[in-house]
Amino acid sequence: MATMQAPTQNFLRPIAGLALGLLLVLAWDASGLDLALARCFGNATGFAAREAFWSRDLLHGGLRWLWVAAWLGLAVDAWRRQPAQRGPSRRQRRQALAAGLLILLVVPALKALSHSSCPWSLQDFGGSAPWVSHWDWTLRDGGPGHCFPSGHTAGAAAFAPFAWIWGRRAWGLLALSAGLASVGQLARGAHFLSHVLWAAWICVALGWVLLRVMERASNLRHTSVTAPGMTQS
């Protein structure tokens, strides 16, 4: 049976991947192309797909229910007595579950702090708010705000801890889920692409960090428990 690497092993590849991802997100953010891309989906009258069945009911509401079912299944799996035939241990699955749930708390907290409004609230698309950079935390745009980063993309990317421990196929499923969720929100005018990219990167990076911290804490507990029982030679 093949063994899986612990989340604390092989640091260089994850760090390099996260660094490359961060550079790509920063490059898009610096390009100033958010509005240009949003205009591909909407105009001064709004976004045609905002209330469309495929974007609102399928890719927004439908995916949410699918994620709820996935979380329930993963929660049950995390408490199975025996580990998967080829896969992570029960401890790793429990750590991934805890990390994913923590991620689901972090992104909404960031959104609550943001003053940036969604594209559909901006003057360019029939709303009342002017465009303001999501990095200008001191300036309000006069709209509803609380739109950065993308909460819906984070709903998909919060499964990143499981992708870190399961590997390539899990990454493929996560990318498909996050991609569908993000396309729907872009088409509806709910988010700019930068909102989506930052949400994805935050979830993936935070997932890796949390797994490392949890694994380290678990190893320390194990060492502290076994040390008193060790005999000196």
Neighbours of 186 (CB within 10 A): 25
Give 189's DSSP letter. Answer: T
Q: How far apart are CA 22 and CA 13, in angstroms?
A: 14
44: exposed, middle or buried (C-beta count within 10 Å: 0-12, 13-18, 19+)? exposed
Global pTM value: 0.88
Instruction: For 195-230, write each residue's pLDDT tens digit.
Output: 999 999 999 999 999 999 999 988 887 676 655 555
**Residue % of the chain over a pLDDT of 90:** 76
Three-state DSSP class for residue 129 = strand
- Give the pLDDT score at 8: 44
Q: Does any domain span residue 105?
A: yes
Q: Does any domain span residue 25?
A: no
Q: For residues 197-211, b (16+ Cβ closer than 10 Å) or e, as one string?
A: bbbbbbbbbbbbebb
Residue 127 C-alpha from the chain's centroid: 28
Q: Does any domain span residue 160?
A: yes
> What pLDDT band is residue 233 in, cutting at 50, 70 and 90?
very low
H or E segment at 187? helix 168-188
Token reading at 47: 């976004």
pLDDT at residue 182 greater than cutoff 90: yes
Region of 92 please: left (phi>0), alpha (psi -120 to 50) or beta: alpha
Instruction: For 79-122, write each residue's pLDDT tens digit.
Output: 887 655 667 888 999 999 999 999 999 999 999 999 999 999 99
Q: Does any domain span residue 182?
A: yes
Domain count for the chain: 1
Q: Does any domain span residue 184?
A: yes
Q: Does any domain span residue 135?
A: no
pLDDT at residue 147 greater than cutoff 70: yes
Domain that holds residue 182: 53-80+87-114+149-218
Cis peptide before 119, with omega less than 30 degrees from 0?
no
**Residue % of the chain over a pLDDT of 70:** 89
* Phi, then psi, of 134 in degrees rounded to 5: -70, -10
pLDDT at residue 157 greater than cutoff 50: yes
Q: Does any domain span residue 161?
A: yes
